[in-house]
Amino acid sequence: MPEKKDSKKDEIILTKGSRYLLKSLESRDKPQISQGTFRGYTAVGPDDALCIELDATHETDQGRLRIIPCHMIISIDILEAKVEDEDPKDEIHGMYG
């Protein structure tokens, strides 16, 4: 009998407090690099976006929050992953609006 996999365990989920390096569309010639701590999801008009607090690699912009629309993201490198809080009251069961 095949081994039953826990599909929730195999999911890759962006978690608050994790550190990521994102490449997103900036210009035709080069991507924009954003490295820092994931603060959560937000919206820009009708578009979903990620909110990243920039780290020291951004020198004078360190600590600034950068909002990147999801459709602009080219890649996400996981630098340090935090374990997701598994409190069931925090689960999202649907979208409203």
Walk me through the domains of the chain, giving residue ranges and CATH numbers.
15-82 (2.30.30.520)
Tokens 């360190």 belong to which residue?
62
- Distance between CA atoms of 42 and 65, rounded to whole angstroms? 12
pLDDT of residue 96: 40
The string of pLDDT tens digits covering residues 50-91 is 999 999 999 999 999 999 999 999 999 999 999 876 665 555
Is residue 19 a contact partner of residue 36, using CB atoms and an 8 Å limit? yes
pLDDT average, residue stretch 38-55? 95
Instruction: State the chain's mean pLDDT as an integer.
Output: 85
CA atoms of 22 and 6, how far apart (whole Å): 28
Q: Where are the alpha helices (DSSP H) in 11-87?
A: none
Type and span of the H or E element at 9 = helix 7-10
- Token couple for 41: 């999801």
